[in-house]
Structure 1
Amino acid sequence: MTALPLFCSQPPGPKEMPSAVPSTSEPRLIPYITQRKGEEAAPDNLMICLHVSGPRLYYRDEDPRDRPVRDVLWARCGFNPADRHGMPTGEPQWKLMHPYRQMMTMRTLRCQVCAGPARTPLGFIFLAGPKDEDPTQSTICTNQPPVCPKHARAAAALCPHLEKNPLVLLARSAPLHGVHGVVYGLNTDNEVHVVAQPDYPLPFGHPDIPTLLASQLIRRLSSFQAMNLDELQRELSAAA
């Protein structure tokens, strides 16, 4: 298969990402993972071919960058120009996460707000809506990339879903678990079409992964402490 240019431009690598953005007092603080106006999904350009392991979803002009994690096909989306800080430009679409930037920050465990390193001496900080998860569970799967200590409160304030009172999950272990996306198949006319839109993540190795177009990378949190933002600040201050 001949590889043609991608719909989207090559995103910046982790070393090119900024380590900080303006403080929450400045009105233009927008999380790095937020999709911007003008960053549109690519037109449908999909096909299903028989692979040695069975049917598999492809782009007709596929590029190696289309499979950034464990050979899973990723949803294409445009990239707006970056500003002088290396941050995306354009009006934020607050309810949407850019599929590639979500994947990139989740894969490299970088902050979803500033794209800087998210590791703390106590592990990684993940946020969830106050009613989203049962903190007594032994493991929790999340599509939300971590946040750095500097931007934990900013993320809580900017995301309406977190209601400014998120459940904080301070995790020492957060291995990759799977992906969320749309499963494709062939209809009676041998045309590619959507056959399933699971509302739960598919773990790597799931039989539907070969024909899935992924839009979010999922991590599984284990060995974590559940707390609120004030408790997080006390824990981090004590560990400093």
Structure 2
Amino acid sequence: MRTTDVSLVPYITLREGEEAAPANLIIASEWPGKFPRLRYVDEGREDRDVRGVLWARCSHTRRDERGMPTGKPRWKLMHPSRQRETMQELRCQVCVKPARTALGFIFLAGPDDYDRDASSIITGQPPVCRRHVRAAAALCPHLDSRPMVFLARSAPLYGVHGTLYGYGPDGIQVIATPDHPLPYGHPNLPTALASQLVRRLNSFRLVDLDELLQELAPEAA
């Protein structure tokens, strides 16, 4: 497939009308003697990930008959909860179906994002399935239709991208936005508000996109 359906929009893409929810944040202990951490006043179980980190809230547009978000895409942005969902469950960022292939998981990155000799890669881009790998490469402006393609056997959870909060003159406010993801276990995570889930690719190989699709061709037969 050399062309892509212009109506195709990756599941993780933020849509017009989807906006950050009001913060209503506090820093407090859940019970006496417990270390204080960032919390929502009306926090629910879905507000934290599997490692207990608090996540940014964002509204959702209505879903279409396929269960996909609607609204004009904001191409350079990812919806935090949909990014978290696909990365946590290793589902395709385009169609939300399981991303595992017979050869492993396919992760894409911009053409200049990483050193080609790197032995370990940290990424916030959810994987793609075989069917949508070329479409994802063409649709994402950052990938520029010439992505680095990583075929990974191992991609354990690493941590999160997020914003750090603390007390300031106006109460609870942003005090830092780290350039790099914070690994799980980092001492700053109790007061972090996450926006992207990050995995580390440990066992992988860098491959050519066309060659990869040829290798995977029997799987589609």
TM above 0.5: yes
Give the whole-Å Cα distance in 2 for the aligned partners of 1:53 and 1:237: 54
Asked whether the 8 Å contact 1:165–1:228 carries over to 2, the reply is no
Match of 1:121 among 80, 102, 108: 102
1:150 alignment partner, SS class? helix
Query: 2:183 aligned with 1:203, yes or no?
Result: yes
Structure 2: 5+ residue runs without aligned partners?
Answer: none
Give the whole-Å Cα distance in 2 for the aligned partners of 1:159 and 1:209: 30
1:194 alignment partner, SS class? strand
Distance change (3 Å), C-alpha of 1:201 and 1:32: same
Give the whole-Å Cα distance in 2 for the aligned partners of 1:24 and 1:73: 39
Measured against aligned partners, the alpha-carbon deviations of 1:49-98 in whole angstroms (never above 9, x if no partner) come to 13545330000111111013211101000011100001000111111100
Q: How far 1:210 sits from its partner (Å)?
A: 0.4
Deviates more, 1:193-202 or 1:131-140: 131-140
Give the whole-Å Cα distance in 1 for the aligned partners of 2:173 and 2:79: 23
Superposed, 1:1-16 pairs within 5 Å as: none
The residue aligned with 1:80 is 61
The residue aligned with 2:199 is 219
The residue aligned with 1:12 is none
Identity %: 62
Report the TM-score when normalising by structure 2.
0.94
- Runs of 4 or more above 6 Å deviation: none
Give the whole-Å Cα distance in 1 for the aligned partners of 2:135 and 2:5: 11
Asked whether the 8 Å contact 1:185–1:211 carries over to 2, the reply is yes
The residue aligned with 1:29 is 8
Give the whole-Å Cα distance in 2 for the aligned partners of 1:41 and 1:33: 15
Give the whole-Å Cα distance in 2 for the aligned partners of 1:227 and 1:238: 18
Q: How far 1:136 sits from its partner (Å)?
A: 1.4
Structure 1: 5+ residue runs without aligned partners?
Answer: 1-22
AA paired with 1:200? Answer: H
Aligned-residue CA RMSD in angstroms? Answer: 1.6
Match of 1:158 among 108, 132, 139: 139
1:96 alignment partner, SS class? strand
Asked whether the 8 Å contact 2:80–2:195 carries over to 1, the reply is yes
2:131 alignment partner, SS class? helix
AA paired with 1:45? Answer: N
1:160 alignment partner, SS class? coil
Give the whole-Å Cα distance in 2 for the aligned partners of 1:24 and 1:131: 23
Superposed, 1:89-128 pairs within 5 Å as: 89-128=70-109
Give the whole-Å Cα distance in 1 for the aligned partners of 2:34 and 2:19: 32
Report the TM-score when normalising by structure 1.
0.86
